[in-house]
Amino acid sequence: MNPEELLKEASNMQEELTKNRRYLHTHPETGFDLTETKAYVKRELTDMGYTPIDCGKAGLTALASGKKSGRVFLLRADMDALPIREEADVDFPSENGNMHACGHDMHTSMLLGAAKLLKQHEDEIHGTIKLMFQPAEEIFAGSKDMIDAGVLKNPDVDAALMIHVMAGLPMPSGTVIVCDGGISAPAADYFTIRIQGKGCHGSMPNNGIDPINAAAHIITALQEIHARELALSDEAVLTFGTIHGGAAENVIPDFVELGGTIRTYDEDVRSFLKKRMTEISQGIAATFRASAKVSFGTGCPTLKNDYELSSCISTYMTELLGKEKAFTAGALSALSGEKKAPKTAGSEDFAYISQEVPSIMLALAAGNPSEGYCFPQHHPKVKFDETALSYGTAIYAYAALRYLADHNV
């Protein structure tokens, strides 16, 4: 397979890629509720000659298999949007209160494009390429759901790759950054702390138990874990995002509920933080005669990039895009004078896949600030450069084809 020809084939698909992306962009759905999105993807795959298979609550898989035996390589795209009302300056905005503010519409369109390319090159596939269209990434639930439903089995996956588009990077659209081996994204956990007090009239606090007072002390105390109980090298962030309690200014409420997230790069630190959050919250609540229940909801582990796979994919990307548009995270950091590649602070539920099979995460530049792409992911005004679509399509297809050819057994 010729990388230049494959890139040209992908470029010739730009109109189709844009059409698919804009349909998905104007019909954003969240979590596992992807009725229109899933139906669209299934219809496109069927029209290409695939037999898409339902996987889990709302996922889809399809297989591209050649006549040559070999390993199994998985390509993943997430399909869900965010519950954000769009404010981006585009001609095709969402109007249903949801928004593809993280670029998952781009990912899905690129993997559909790769599926078409792979159909056209099916005889060149040494083994099998499994296409994974995943729901519920934003709530860290879709990847695990599909794993539980068997996405890594029948046939068993040997390696996996994902792409994430990035708006606002100061480099040309279509530039790819390959993560170095090791952890590149933190584990994430959502938590809630319910502080139970005893409601009463605000003029007689002695007749009740004030959960707001207990909540204030808990918020302050939990930030001390990072300051006094974690080492300098124990990178972690604990963030409160919600506080709910009370309905009237002159009433002490019956309870207060706090909500937030923790992010960690080490599983031991993750476990320690959860343990101490529970102990401190319950202890402080008891000090003020209240009680506290700490609950941890959906989350995901750290994302591990395989060292050997990182090296291979870096080589393939240079072949496909040239040295001017393909970098490792470490090499890019060195060019900017940094001693080591920075880790992303955003979590990614592809981490569940990376805990099971050798995996790699790629970042794809999709909008330079100097060209008007100034807002970051999850912002209501974020927009993405659609010229990146053909690059992402070629990257998906070429990475899988080259890996299988290199690891032919």
List, as residue ranges, the binding site.
102, 104, 138, 164, 378
Token reading at 16: 């189709």
> What residues are designated binding site for Mn(2+)?
102, 104, 138, 164, 378
C-alpha dist (Å) from residue 333 to 170, 337, 371, 393: 13, 6, 23, 26
Token digits of residue 173: 């659209």
SS3 377: coil
Q: Residue 313 — left, alpha, or beta (φ > 0 → left; ψ -120 to 50 → alpha)?
A: alpha
| Cis ω before 28 (30° cut-off from 0) | no
What gap in Å lies between CA 276 and CA 242, rounded to an integer? 20
Q: How far apart are CA 363 and CA 345, in angstroms?
A: 14
CA distance 16 to 238: 43
- For residue 50, the one-letter residue type is Y
Contact 373, 384 (CB under 8 A): yes
- CB–CB of 117/394 below 8 Å? yes
CB-based contact 328:177 (threshold 8 Å): yes
Tokens encoding 287: 């000090």
Both tokens assigned to 131 = 């296409």
Compute CA distances 151 → 134, 142, 148, 192, 357, whole Å. 10, 11, 8, 31, 12
Residues ≥6 apart with Cβ < 8 Å to 387: 14, 173, 174
- Is 370 in contact with 169 (CB distance < 8 Å)? no
Which tokens hold the place of 408? 């032919």
Burial group, residue 6, by CB count within 10 angstroms (0-12, 13-18, 19+) = buried
